[in-house]
């Protein structure tokens, strides 16, 4: 080993045990202080609390303040994951987000630097609401190959910054937040080991979820973006149907790859898009909906943050307990989808609130 390699979680290189696996060792979460209730939205949009609760299961969501950014939440969640694991060190940072601080460069190096990790590898993963599962797969790959001994995997998004203030269909759904896990090198037989991944995409449905402006396709026209293209948009019903079938198939596939029957799975921690989607997936899988962990009522759809935030809340509330067989499944724009399987370890998650004092309410008109 080169001198100093053990700092920053780097490894010495050389052959690895076939049993080597990435193990979940810490769990952190962060949400902005500002709560936006359904009644707040009903005050500015043609909607009402009853419609939002009935069609989505959401009661409230969080929003960052003017001038804040995704990295502010990511840093807070990452610090919490490190503290939860009882360490200040990580060998790499993988950040899942589709609302980076800026289009270029990636946000992860800035997060790594602000946490004080030193010159570690750090990069963003963009798979919208599947981002956290893709980022876990990337982090697990770095550990399995022996590139590093630990990886901070973060999911963070601030969709309040890209929503159309007049679009009631998206504005009631999305909220801001961040969640993170620390993965460390361990063995496949330990609780917390990520046992396998099932990942997929379908780029022919690129138009169902997204934002038209802000990329090479628009800039190469040499024309300013149309105002409507600078906001996020979603074809809700078409996405709903895809979300149900893709997540059900993905969960079935990861269970089969792991050697579990779907009925044996104790907890399903899925992307929190809509409580009706979770109910429909449970029906399709033939398992009780009570096994689906959810915090959508309080946080809405937090995109790449939704799975780690749901993990943190379900663990804190005693719904996820050590030894449970757990399937994590995401679905989102791209389209993309993916799952992993884990026997839940003993963990104490930490969740804090990002101060939004002196902030005001987003989204705003461009």
Give the residue numbers marked as catalytic: 129, 271, 301
Tokens, residue 126: 């963009």
Which residues 6+ apart lie within 8 Å of 15 measured at CB? none
Strand order in the sheet with 325-332: 194-201, 336-343, 325-332, 267-270
Nearer to ligand UT7, 146 or 212 (CB): 212
- Please enumerate in sequence order all residues whose Cβ is within 8 A of that of 47, keeping only pairs 6 or more positions apart, or say none: 38, 41, 168, 172
Which residues, 104 to 123, sit near ligand UT7 by CB under 6 A? none
Q: How many residues bind ligand UT7 (CB under 6 A)?
A: 20
Is 284 a binder of ligand UT7 (CB under 6 A)?
no
Q: Quick one: 153 or 239, whose CB is closer to ligand UT7?
A: 239
Contact 255, 249 (CB under 8 A): no
* Of 53, 59, 168, 257, the one binding ligand UT7 by CB under 6 A: 168
d(CA 219, CA 233): 19
Contact between 292 and 268 under an 8 Å Cβ cutoff? The reply is yes
CA distance 24 to 347: 9
Which position among 55, 188, 257, 325 is part of the footprint of ligand UT7 (CB under 6 A)? 55
> Least separation, in Å, of the C-beta of 304 and ligand UT7?
10
Least Cβ distance, residue 109 to ligand UT7 (angstroms): 27
The DSSP symbol for 295 reads -
State which of positions 22-51 bind ligand UT7 (CB under 6 A). Answer: 47, 51
Contacts of 86 (CB under 8 A, 6+ apart): 26
64: which DSSP letter? P
C-beta nearest to ligand UT7: residue: 236
Under 8 Å between Cβ of 337 and 352: no
Query: Min. distance of Cβ 282 from ligand UT7 in angstroms?
Result: 15
Tell whether omega for the bond before 92 is within 30 degrees of 0, i.e. cis.
Answer: no
The smaller minimum CB distance to ligand UT7, of residues 82 and 303, is found at 303
Residue from the set 56, 99, 126, 198 that interacts with ligand UT7 by CB under 6 A:
56
Question: Which CB atom, from 47 or from 324, has the smaller least distance to ligand UT7?
Answer: 47
Residues 6+ apart with CB under 8 A from 218: 212, 225, 229
Smallest distance from ligand UT7 to CB 28, Å: 22
Q: Give the integer Cα–Cα distance in Å for 271 and 263.
A: 20
Among 85, 117, 129, 269, binds ligand UT7 (CB under 6 A): 129
Q: Which stretch binds ligand UT7 (CB under 6 A): 146-154, 167-175, 308-316, 337-345?
A: 167-175
Interface with ligand UT7 (CB under 6 A), residue from 22, 163, 172, 347: 172
State the Cα–Cα distance between residues 211 and 303, nearest whole angstrom. 14
28 forms bridges with which residues in the sheet?
180, 350
* Closest CB to ligand UT7 among residues 304, 343: 304
Note the helical H segments in 28-172.
38-42, 49-56, 70-85, 108-115, 131-144, 168-171
Among 60, 161, 274, 340, binds ligand UT7 (CB under 6 A): 274
CB 151 within 8 A of CB 120: no
Residue of 160, 198, 275, 301 that binds ligand UT7 (CB under 6 A): 301
Q: Is 236 in the site for ligand UT7 (CB under 6 A)?
A: yes
Cβ-based nearer residue to ligand UT7, 90 or 243? 243
Binding of ligand UT7 at residue 162 (CB under 6 A)? no
Stretch that binds ligand UT7, among 91-99, 101-109, 270-278, 281-289 (CB under 6 A): 270-278
Q: Which of 142, 173, 193, 312 binds ligand UT7 (CB under 6 A)?
A: 173
- Pair of tokens at residue 345: 């370890």
From the list 8-16, 181-189, 233-241, 313-321, the region that binds ligand UT7 by CB under 6 A is 233-241
Binding site for ligand UT7 (CB under 6 A): 47, 51-52, 55-56, 129, 168-169, 172-173, 236-237, 239-240, 243, 273-274, 277, 301, 332
């Amino acid at each position: 080993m080169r001198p100093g390699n053990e700092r920053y979680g780097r490894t010495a290189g050389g052959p690895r045990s076939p049993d080597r696996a990435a193990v979940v060792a810490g769990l952190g979460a962060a949400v902005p202080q500002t709560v936006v209730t359904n009644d707040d939205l009903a005050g500015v949009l043609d909607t009402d609390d009853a419609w939002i609760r009935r069609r989505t299961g959401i009661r409230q969501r969080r929003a960052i303040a003017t001038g804040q950014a995704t990295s502010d939440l990511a840093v807070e969640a990452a610090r919490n994951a490190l503290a939860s694991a009882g360490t200040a060190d990580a060998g790499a940072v993988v950040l899942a987000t589709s609302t980076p601080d800026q289009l270029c460069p990636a946000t992860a190096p800035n997060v790594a630097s602000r946490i004080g990790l030193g010159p570690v590898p750090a990069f963003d993963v963009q798979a919208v609401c599947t981002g956290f599962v893709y980022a876990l797969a990337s982090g697990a790959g770095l550990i399995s190959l022996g590139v590093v001994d630990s990886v901070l995997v973060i999911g963070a998004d601030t969709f309040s910054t890209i929503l159309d203030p007049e679009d009631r269909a998206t504005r009631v759904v999305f909220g801001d937040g961040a969640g993170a896990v620390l993965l460390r090198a361990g063995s496949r037989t330990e609780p917390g080991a990520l046992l396998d991944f099932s990942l997929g995409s379908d780029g022919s449905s690129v138009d169902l979820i997204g934002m038209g402006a802000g990329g090479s396709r628009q800039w190469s026209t040499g024309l300013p973006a149309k105002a409507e293209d600078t906001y996020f948009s979603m074809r809700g019903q078409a996405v709903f149907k895809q979300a149900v079938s893709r997540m059900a198939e993905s969960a079935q596939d990861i269970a089969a790859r792991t050697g579990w029957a779907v009925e044996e799975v104790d907890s399903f921690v899925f992307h929190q898009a809509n409580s009706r989607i979770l109910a429909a997936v449970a029906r399709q899988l033939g398992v009780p909906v009570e096994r689906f962990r959810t915090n959508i009522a309080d946080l809405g759809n937090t995109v790449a943050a939704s799975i780690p935030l749901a993990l943190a809340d379900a663990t804190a509330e005693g719904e996820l307990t050590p030894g449970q067989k757990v399937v994590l499944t995401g679905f989102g724009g791209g389209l993309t989808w993916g799952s992993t399987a884990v026997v839940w370890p003993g963990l104490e998650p930490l969740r804090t609130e990002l101060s939004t004092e002196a902030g005001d309410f987003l989204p705003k008109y461009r």
